[in-house]
Amino acid sequence: MSLKQASVHAKWVIGRVIGTKMRKTAKVRVTRLVLDPYLLKYYNKRKTYFAHDALQQCTVGDIVLLKALPERRSKHVKHELAEIVFKVGAVVDPLTGKKVAGGCFLEPLTESTESTEASLTEKLEQLNISASPSPSLSSPASASPSSPASA
C-alpha cells in the first residue's frame, strides 16, 4: 500500500528567474537568510527550483511567485509559476510616469516646465510630501525675542 505524496518543503516561494532555455520550464533561484547559531550572523542561502511555465511568459531577471505542485511533474519540476511579481525592464518613475532604465528615461520628457512643476506638486501632494518646510516649524524660530544679529 504505497501512496503517492508530494514531499515539497516550501509550498510558496518567491525568487528570480535565472534561465528559460528549457521549453515550458523556468529555472528560479530563491535566496533566503539563515542564521549561523555560533556567529549569530545571517548568511544568504540559495536554492534553485525548476518551475513549470506553461505560457512561457517569464524572462531572465523576472521576480516570480512559485506554487508547489501536488505531485511532481517530472524528475526535477516540482513547482509551477503562479504569478510574475515584477517584470524585468518595466520600471516606471513614480513622479513622471515614464519608463526608466538605470538613471535614463526611455521615453522623452516633452512637457513644458510649468506643467511639469504643477504635475510634480500635485503628485507630491497625493503622496503627502511637502516641497517646502511647514510654517508651524518656522514660526517659533522667528518669534524668539533674542537673536545675536540684532544685539
Q: What is the pLDDT of residues 11-53, one digit of tens each?
A: 899 999 999 999 999 999 999 999 999 999 999 999 999 999 9
Structure pTM? 0.57
Torsion sign over Cα 14, 20, 22, 25? positive
Residue with cell 534553485: 48
- CA–CA distance, 127 with 32 (Å, rounded to integer): 32
- Name the least confident of 21-30, 48-57, 99-108, 140-149: 140-149
pLDDT for res 151:
47
Per-residue pLDDT, 1? 46
H runs (alpha helix) in the chain: 113-126, 135-142
Distance CA 144, CA 139 (A): 9
What b/e string do you get for 5-16 counting C-beta neighbours within 10 Å, with b at 16 or more? eeebeeeebbbb
Considering only CA atoms, give the Rg of the chain.
Answer: 26
β-pairing, 41-52 vs 25-36, is antiparallel
- What percent helix, strand, coil does the chain show, rounded to 5? 15, 35, 50
Single-letter code of the amino acid located at 27: K
> What pLDDT score does 88 carry?
83
Instruction: For residue 109, give the C-alpha cell.
Output: 520628457
What is the rounded distance in angstroms from the CA atom of residue 144 to the CA atom of residue 101?
49
Phi, psi (deg, nearest 5) at residue 52: -80, 125
